Amino acid sequence: MTEEIEDGVRGHYAGDGLMDRLVAALVEMGHDPDDPPAEAVSLLDQMHIRGAAATTELHDAVGIGPDDSVLDVGCGIGGPARALAARLGCPVTGLDLTPGFCACARELNYLFGVEDSGGDCRGQRP
C-alpha cells in the first residue's frame, strides 16, 4: 500500500475528536461517561452494518476460541476487539491506520480496563 493510499484512508475516516463525540452521545443517552454500561458503548463503537450482533455472528462463524490470539486489522475504535476479548477472554491486538480512531480506542480500552489484556490498539505505522 502506498503512502498516498494510506493518507487517503486516514483522510476518509479522519476521526478527530471522536472521544468527545462519544462522551456527548453517552451523556445524551443518560449515562455517566466515566462509567458507562458496556451495552451503551457497544451501540456506538461498532462501525459496521448491524453493529454488535454482526460482530458476535462473525466471532462464531470463524470459530475463535479462548486460546487463540487475534489481530484485528482495521479495528477502528476497537469495539469488535473489546467485544471479542470480553466474550472469549482471548488476547486481541487492534491495528488501524487512522490516528484519531487509535486514540479513541486507547481511551475506551483504558475506560474498560482492557489496555493490558489484549485490547490494545497499536496505531498507525511509524
Of 3 and 30, nearer to ligand SAM (C-beta) is: 3
Query: Which residue ranges make up the site for ligand SAM (CB under 6 A)?
Result: 1, 9, 13, 46-48, 73-76, 79-80, 95-98, 101
**Minimum CB separation from ligand SAM for residue 82, in Å?**
10
Rounded to the nearest angstrom, the gap between the alpha carbon of residue 105 and the centroid of all alpha carbons in its chain is 5
Nearest residue by C-beta to ligand SAM?
76
- How many CB atoms lie under 10 A from the CB of residue 83? 22
Of 32 and 71, nearer to ligand SAM (C-beta) is: 71
**Minimum CB separation from ligand SAM for residue 86, in Å?**
15
**Minimum CB separation from ligand SAM for residue 124, in Å?**
8
In terms of C-beta density within 10 A (0-12 exposed, 13-18 middle, 19 or more buried), how is residue 119 classed?
buried
Please count the CA atoms within 13 angstroms of the CA of 66 that sit on its side-chain side. 4
**Minimum CB separation from ligand SAM for residue 36, in Å?**
17
Task: Indicate the DSSP class of residue 82.
Answer: H
The Cα 69–Cα 64 span in angstroms is 9
